[in-house]
Structure 1
């Protein structure tokens, strides 16, 4: 097969829009161009106060790219991916061109089946520990996408991260532009998908609270499993690739029966991000924090229709900061 078709495009986009994004902003566009599927950052969905560098948009579009890759592979039409292929069009994040047709692998089918089931769960998780073999699968998922996942082990490590995360959250809560932008996007997170009201004993910061307090005995897990995902570099392409790795980790967790939620405050505040990097003692740059566990059933947040995220092949989309 020399080119993708409109049917391939729709199949890829239906999966891609299920990717996570900061504040459910869904900052992506898709088009068919010269037989390739191209995935772009949507400048109309930017978060200029919160995402000043464009990091969060690139992470989200990278995650959408991974879902599109899975959908194509699951249909027997896998793709070769080039990130940021056109310097003259910085808003173009990924180009997917047809590879040799082949049946999907078991792993691809398993992860693709998890796409509609993956969503953030901001509610408390059960205290049950995540088995060692599942932790190994999560680490391997990140490694297979040229990234690393550092799982925090022990109360001391979690407490240290908690201090960094809460400090970053306090910095953001003093930023009036940040608060105003959060309020603007509050509608994108339905009440059922929000966290319960914060309480002093909470180990990790949350955002987008509902108005309900937790019943007694429904605290967050006392020792959450926290993973920091990072990549060797910190260029625009590195951040887009981190989005692909993040999505593979999230889908691996979903396929294993885990719930997840994302924590980005320590990444959004430069000083906190640097402190987190130094505390890990790893080469490279942290890009997102993931909380893993076993939770009560929850529902995904709404997504834009496929027709809303398609754009013409001749349309140049401007870039986002840092591209």
Structure 2
């Protein structure tokens, strides 16, 4: 069934959902452009919003765009469309990195994502707060693993020994980041201690550090913190043994990164509906050597794209979002041009 052209309100709602996705340093490196017939939505990488020192190959940028793509798919279903996604990675700048065909209407039937994930799109936040010492139920964890698998990735829930090994690698990577002047300088360009802002990381989202130094959370203000930025973050006691999972792809090219981003967001939205909080321990994937060591050889070949931390606790602070008009290239409104 061919659907009518997307209305401007639908296009704006789609863009708002895509723009709610997570991204490294909340850089929001995406733009959306409808086709001339208003039945397709092209997704572009905004390389002006890249984080090149921390993410020199653009892997994190593509993962962020993948998360935005999944939000677009969820929103399209919400508006009665049957989205067909075509990935077109490897096109720099002027070429779309992906295209979402929205010409077909959705037929009656089961929810394509297992349940309606749309409400979670705008509830999802990264929580860098301590979580409770409470296990995620096996049934819920199984749903999350299945969600990642459906998007063509493998999510592995780590046992205690692997959790401690990954935490050690993350702590090593965090120490190297803290000592890297270029990375610290780049990170501080994305800090937004003064409100209001439309991107970057507000002070409320920095989060505390673990008082017992078990869970190596990223220190956005540096060690020691730059006086011109902020005072040292507070310390709190985190969970004794965090629940971690790795997200792995078979390949390690742009298309794999886009799939990883979609899988991450599918897992994250589902976790949000289950009342779980999520944060990304990203430090170890930012260095080639620690990233290689994240892979458990017993799990077979693969490339770890993300380390996710799950738990029950505070929802985390909201982060600012760019206005829809900044991320959506709408055609001129004929009615407005005629003064209607």
TM superposition score normalised by structure 2: 0.85
- Cα-to-partner distance string for 1:235-255 (whole Å, 9 max, x where unaligned): 111101111111001001101
- Cα-to-partner distance string for 1:170-201 (whole Å, 9 max, x where unaligned): 22223221110011111121122111145453
Structure 2 CA distance for aligned equivalents of residues 311 and 152 of structure 1? 42
Q: Are 2:166 and 1:161 aligned?
A: yes
Structure 1 CA distance for aligned equivalents of residues 95 and 245 of structure 2? 29
Indicate the residue corresponding to 1:194 in structure 2. 206
1:12-51 matched pairs, under 5 angstroms: 12-34=14-36, 35-51=39-55
Structure 2 CA distance for aligned equivalents of residues 10 and 282 of structure 1? 43
Structure 2 CA distance for aligned equivalents of residues 173 and 280 of structure 1? 31
Q: Are 2:135 and 1:123 aligned?
A: no
- Cα-to-partner distance string for 1:182-241 (whole Å, 9 max, x where unaligned): 111111211221111454533333232674423xxx411011110111111111111011
Alpha-carbon contact 1:83-1:237 (below 8 Å) kept: yes
Q: Could you say if the C-alpha distance between residues 86 and 50 of structure 1 is closer, same or farther in structure 2, counting changes exceeding 3 Å?
A: closer
Indicate the residue corresponding to 1:180 in structure 2. 185
Indicate the residue corresponding to 1:207 in structure 2. 219
Greater mean deviation of Cα atoms: 82-91 or 140-149: 82-91
Indicate the residue corresponding to 1:58 in structure 2. 62
- Cα-to-partner distance string for 1:76-116 (whole Å, 9 max, x where unaligned): 11210011168576752210012531257444652111111
- Cα-to-partner distance string for 1:286-313 (whole Å, 9 max, x where unaligned): 1111100001243321100100112378
Q: Give the counterpart of 1:84 among 85, 88, 110.
A: 88
- Cα-to-partner distance string for 1:131-167 (whole Å, 9 max, x where unaligned): 000110110010010011011122x221111111111
Alpha-carbon contact 2:191-2:203 (below 8 Å) kept: no
Indicate the residue corresponding to 2:158 in structure 1. 152
Q: Are 2:292 and 1:274 aligned?
A: yes
Which blocks of at least 5 consecutive residues in structure 2 are unaligned?
193-199, 222-230, 332-340
Structure 2 CA distance for aligned equivalents of residues 61 and 263 of structure 1? 18
Q: Could you say if the C-alpha distance between residues 198 and 220 of structure 1 is closer, same or farther in structure 2, counting changes exceeding 3 Å?
A: closer
Alpha-carbon contact 1:80-1:98 (below 8 Å) kept: yes
Q: Could you say if the C-alpha distance between residues 108 and 116 of structure 1 is closer, same or farther in structure 2, counting changes exceeding 3 Å?
A: farther
Q: Give the counterpart of 2:324 among 286, 306, 323.
A: 306
Structure 2 CA distance for aligned equivalents of residues 27 and 91 of structure 1? 14
Secondary structure at 2:128's aligned position in 1?
coil
Indicate the residue corresponding to 1:284 in structure 2. 302
Structure 2 CA distance for aligned equivalents of residues 232 and 69 of structure 1? 23
Indicate the residue corresponding to 2:228 in structure 1. none
CA RMSD of aligned residues (A): 2.1
Structure 2 CA distance for aligned equivalents of residues 85 and 239 of structure 1? 10
Q: Give the counterpart of 1:171 among 149, 171, 176.
A: 176
Alpha-carbon contact 2:17-2:75 (below 8 Å) kept: yes
Deviation at 1:75, TM superposition (A): 1.1
Which blocks of at least 5 consecutive residues in structure 1 are unaligned?
314-323
1:221-232 matched pairs, under 5 angstroms: 221-232=239-250
Structure 2 CA distance for aligned equivalents of residues 12 and 191 of structure 1? 28
Secondary structure at 1:58's aligned position in 2?
helix
Structure 2 CA distance for aligned equivalents of residues 80 and 53 of structure 1? 27
